Structure 1
Amino acid sequence: MTVPALAAEPKALYDTTCVACHGPTGKGAIPGVPDLATRLGKSDAELAASILNGFQTPGSPMAMPAKGGNAALTAADATALVGYLRTLGKS
């Protein structure tokens, strides 16, 4: 049985891949970037797929690139990011 590689530390992933657009609290750092809290009603699988494949909000002129523009991001990293996103704003 193969054990999957551990993802990088989720906060570090967020800080290096997501924070430039989504900001430190996920509320959006630049105009047109949605508050991530509005996306958390989706399943973990849907959120991970959006991270890996990119996402275009209908009607928005902006789109999130696949893997947030981080070509090294793995599926395990996306799963770790989803877990981290669910903690934002809960401290």
Structure 2
Amino acid sequence: MTARGSADRCQVHLASSLHGTGGGVEELATIYPGIAEDVNMHVVPANHVGPAGPWTGCGRSSVWAPRRSSDGGRHADSGARRGRRRVSFVRLMLGTM
């Protein structure tokens, strides 16, 4: 699906995900930057935090840019806390890819 989006000149891939505690943070930090690099587009995984049936989501929703772009790598990471917290906004200049 991401290759098709890249071929269609999409600039962002939005990914709903459920990565759990006990390895989920490492999975997120490996899988999504790899996708960003492979298809040359920004990747935004929205990961659940807290209990979800038998799973406990590890949070860490983030924004990744392809490393070959001038601003490559992780742009933002929501962390793993639940409840009220300060909201951060990330502005991406997608037209510069």
TM-score between the two structures when normalised by the length of structure 1 = 0.30
Structure possessing the higher radius of gyration over alpha carbons: 2
Select the structure with the greater relative contact order (CA < 8 A; seq sep ≥ 6). 1
- Say which structure is richer in helix: 1
TM-score between the two structures when normalised by the length of structure 2 = 0.29
- Say which structure is richer in strand: 2
